[in-house]
Amino acid sequence: MRTRQLALTGAAIAVLASLAGGASPALASKASCSAGSTLAISNSARVFVVKRGSARRVYGCSTRTFRRTYLGRAGGEGVDTSVIAVKGRRVAYVRTFCGEGGCGQSVFVYDLTKREDVSGSEAAPGGGSHEVTDILLSRNGTVAWIVEAIEPSDLKSRHVSAREPGKGVGKPFVPIATGLDIVSGSLALAGTTLYWTQGTAKSAPLP
């Protein structure tokens, strides 16, 4: 996928999905959280996709409360199912937004137990075309990612970026690193230190 232009809309919107009814609400909730195909999982949360007819819907579910949240449809102008991270009760995911000028991506973090947004950010600095290739989530809810910025068909740059929880929706932090030699797929996290390959192995503390 090669997106063409960012069109970020307001705050992250999590549409709460209706849970199936039944004799026991608890059993119905457990059943709704075990549906579909797993995309990412932790000891406290599961993110999965459910196919209904021609549509594929992405949900997140707290395995403590057994309540699920609709995150968006899979693919197209929706959730990119290739870049999802779960840590504890939180999920980090990428959504594609489209407008008159084209489409672009944003990075969101959502707390599946509290059912509230943690943070949201444009995926790349300066708008324009871009695509997230890596995403990681720390224990405290800080999200980190690698994004490729594309102009409209030629690779322009790559960035390593991160965002703390509680920052709302807006432009991302100044990238931790920028350069064509950043290797997609190399992002790793150990404690509060972020690692990636950029010619050689690089590291930086999370913000």
Residue 17, pLDDT score:
32
List of domains in the chain: 25-205 (2.40.128)
Residue 22 has pLDDT above 50, yes or no: no
How far apart CA 141 and CA 117 sit, in angstroms, is 11
pLDDT-derived band at 165 (thresholds 50, 70, 90) equals confident
pLDDT-derived band at 168 (thresholds 50, 70, 90) equals low
Percent of the chain with pLDDT over 70: 75
Residue 74 has pLDDT above 60, yes or no: yes
Q: Are strands 90-99 and 102-111 parallel, antiparallel or unpaired?
A: antiparallel
> In Å, what is the CA distance from 107 to each residue of 25, 94, 123, 133, 141?
33, 5, 6, 11, 12
Residue 59, pLDDT score:
96
Q: What is the pTM of this model?
A: 0.81
Residue 1, pLDDT score:
45
pLDDT-derived band at 20 (thresholds 50, 70, 90) equals very low
How far apart CA 72 and CA 55 sit, in angstroms, is 11
Residue 11 has pLDDT above 60, yes or no: no
